[in-house]
Amino acid sequence: MSSAQLGLLLYGAWKTILLTLGGMALALVIAFPVGLARVSHNKFVRAIGFTYVELFRGAAVLVLAFWFVYALPSLGWQLDPTFAGILALGLNMGAYSGEVVRGAIQAVPPGQIEAATALNFKPSQGMRRVVLPQAVRAMIPSFGNNVIEQLKATAVVAVVSIPELTFNGQLIWSGNGRAAAVFGGLLIGYGLMALIFMTGVKLLERRVAWT
Amino acid sequence: MSFIDFTDVSKRFGDNVVLDDMSFNVANGERVTLIGPSGSGKTTILRMLMTLTKPDSGTIAIDDEYLWHERRGDDLVPASEAHTRKVRSRVTMVFQQFNLFPNMKVLRNVTEAPIHVLGKQKDEADERARELLEMVGLQDKADFYPSQLSGGQQQRVAIARALAVEPDILLLDEVTSALDPEIAAEVLDVLRDVAKTSDVTMLLVTHAMRFARDVSNRVLMFNEGKIIEDAAPEQMFNEPQHERTKAFLKSVLEEV
């Protein structure tokens, strides 16, 4: 492997990490309001959360990426391709992560909310001080899962010419024709990155334990 | 009007009538034990006072203020959240399953509501919490998480947490049912102490009859959503009038 090829792969890996973390950051920013909306007592607010989840969970990342990279510019709105990729990934993962938030909130035992009521917390105080801290801890393993899913989904946006790992791998392959070596290498690369992300999540899980 | 007034309160869950048009009242400072077979509506009474279970009909008032309703002109309308919170501020509850907040250390479990609900300064709340923890014999556990304590210790923290909000009415819902008899005794000793040293009004649901006799000055016997006997503990436990009460007490006392 030439140093040019190595540089291409490293740059691609860097873009992949950027897309993963950017997409996941956007997903988390979306997930909390969406998840909270899904458990709201207000029917209208619940409907907004529900609509978001159904809309973006069902939207193919690939089609979203086409939309941001090709359709929006045709309407006169140019986006940086990497930013467009992050949008496509994050909007979709935000729907999944919103469901994680909802599930974790609903999994907090009712006795906790009853105790908050018995101490005369406002519902919003009970949510912020009692329910959410417990729910967030329960969310972390699922978010870890989502990060890995997000990492793998980044390969999809190679199609819109974002020079991430898969895109650059394809470039190298078209140059040397060695499919087994190139795509074998990519698999190992994704595996290594997944391992790093997972280790990070595990460390985070340990930090938030209450003992 | 008495201190606590239940007027024509009914509650059903599906076909199951839990409370059937029930009226009774409790005077300020009274210690009332609710006894009766499970499903007879005792816990529902406590949960309604804590605003955890909503009555289907009837009214509940504390010191002449409706809990689930508010007055608008001559009408009674469903209470706003703000009204309910105001009336509810006089009541608190200790639960069968303790329900301590696992994400907070013991001290913060006790200070959280005084600081964020009563608006106390942190120093003042900490000091009071430490006094209360000492009263329940757990002053050395302030910096532990609830998961590091035994069930009996957790329940004693829950009692300290309840007292920290300075309630006028303390509800105790089978607070020793989840504990071994020996551990339960520690918790009951703490509650005897509370009963002796404060003038808080207490409503308790319990199967610990000797404890009920020690701390309460009135016992209500529930059966099928109605109060069938209302007497002082000596009367209730020594000379129950109702056949159903006799049968119930016999079965409970044989069990122990």
**ipTM of the predicted structure?**
0.94
> What per-residue string of b and e applies to A46-85 under the rule 16 or more CB within 10 Å gives b?
eeebeebbeebeeeebeebbbebbeeeeeeeeeeebbebb
Residue A4 lies in a domain: no
Residue B140 lies in a domain: yes
Largest distance between two CA atoms of chain B: 55
> Does residue B246 register a pLDDT over 70?
yes
Residue A70 lies in a domain: yes
> Does residue B256 register a pLDDT over 60?
no
Residue B252's pLDDT is: 86
Contact check, Cβ <8 Å, B99/A112: yes
Residue A76 lies in a domain: yes
Residue B208 lies in a domain: no
Q: Which of A111, A120, A133 sits opposite B85 (nearest CB)?
A: A120
Residue A207 lies in a domain: no
CA distance B86 to A17: 52
Residue A52 lies in a domain: yes
Residue B186 at interface with chain A, using a CB cutoff of 8 Å: no
Residue B154 lies in a domain: yes
Residue B72 lies in a domain: no
What CATH number has the domain bearing residue A38? 1.10.3720.10
3-state SS class at A1: coil
Residue B217 lies in a domain: no
The sheet carrying B226-231 orders its strands as B91-94, B169-173, B201-205, B31-35, B218-223, B226-231
CA distance B127 to B148: 22
Domain that holds residue A152: 19-163
What is the count of structural domains for chain B?
1
Residue A54's pLDDT is: 95
pLDDT tens-digit map of B153-190: 999 999 999 999 999 999 999 999 999 988 999 999 99
User: B49 is written with which tokens?
Assistant: 């006072």
Residue A94 lies in a domain: yes
Contact check, Cβ <8 Å, A118/B148: no
User: B248 is written with which tokens?
Assistant: 């119930």
Q: Calculate how close chain A gets to B109, using CA atoms only, in Å.
A: 10
Residue B82 at interface with chain A, using a CB cutoff of 8 Å: no
Residue in this structure with the two tokens 């291409």, named with its chain if needed: A8
Contact check, Cβ <8 Å, A122/B85: yes
pLDDT tens-digit map of B59-113: 999 999 999 999 998 899 999 999 999 999 999 999 999 999 999 999 999 999 9
Distances (CA, A) of A126 to A69, A182, A198, B241: 43, 53, 31, 45
User: B120 is written with which tokens?
Assistant: 């106390």
Residue A133 at interface with chain B, using a CB cutoff of 8 Å: yes
**CA nearest neighbour of A168 among A192, A185, A151, A147:** A185
Q: Rounded to a whole number, what is the distance in angstroms from the first to the last CA of chain A?
A: 50
Contact check, Cβ <8 Å, A211/B117: no
CB atoms inside a 10 Å sphere around CB B76: 13
Compute the C-alpha angle B34/B39/B43, nearest 5°: 45
CA distance A80 to A47: 32
Residue B64 at interface with chain A, using a CB cutoff of 8 Å: no
pLDDT tens-digit map of A56-90: 998 889 999 999 989 998 888 888 899 999 999 99
The pTM is what? 0.89
Q: Calculate how close chain A gets to B52, using CA atoms only, in Å.
A: 7
Q: Which residues of B touch A123 (CB under 8 A)?
A: 81
Residue B23 lies in a domain: no
Q: Which residues of A touch B132 (CB under 8 A)?
A: none
Q: Which of B85, B95, B102 sits opposite A210 (nearest CB)?
A: B102
CA distance A118 to B36: 24
Contact check, Cβ <8 Å, A119/B161: yes
Distances (CA, A) of A29 to A48, A59, A122: 16, 18, 24
DSSP A59: S
Domain that holds residue B111: 97-166
Residue A137 at interface with chain B, using a CB cutoff of 8 Å: yes
Residue A120 at interface with chain B, using a CB cutoff of 8 Å: yes
- Confidence grade of residue B255 (pLDDT, cut at 50, 70, 90): low
Contact check, Cβ <8 Å, B117/A120: yes
Residue B132 lies in a domain: yes
CB atoms inside a 10 Å sphere around CB A3: 7
Residue A118 lies in a domain: yes
Task: Identify whether the C-beta of residue A120 lies closer than 8 Å to the C-beta of residue B83.
Answer: no
Residue ranges of chain A with per-residue pLDDT less than 50: none
User: B247 is written with which tokens?
Assistant: 């049968």
Tell me whether residue A15 is exposed, middle or buried, using C-beta atoms within 10 angstroms of its C-beta: 0 to 12, 13 to 18, 19 or more. buried
CB atoms inside a 10 Å sphere around CB B107: 19
Give the residue from A41, A105, A120 with the most B CB atoms within 10 Å of its CB, the best one to mutate: A120
Q: Which of B92, B145, B148 sits opposite A119 (nearest CB)?
A: B92
3-state secondary structure chain B: CCCEEEEEEEEEECCEEEEEEEEEEECCCCEEEEECCCCCCHHHHHHHHCCCCCCCEEEEEECCEECCEEEECCEEEECCHHHHHHHHCCEEEECCCCCCCCCCCHHHHHHHHHHHCCCCCHHHHHHHHHHHHHHCCCHHHCCCCHHHCCHHHHHHHHHHHHHHCCCCEEEEECCCCCCCHHHHHHHHHHHHHHHHHCCCEEEEECCCHHHHHHHCCEEEEEECCEEEEEECHHHHHHCCCCHHHHHHHHHHHHHC
Residue B142 lies in a domain: yes
Task: Identify whether the C-beta of residue A200 lies closer than 8 Å to the C-beta of residue A143.
Answer: no
Residue A151 lies in a domain: yes
What is the count of structural domains for chain A?
1
Residue B70's pLDDT is: 94
Average pLDDT value for chain B = 94
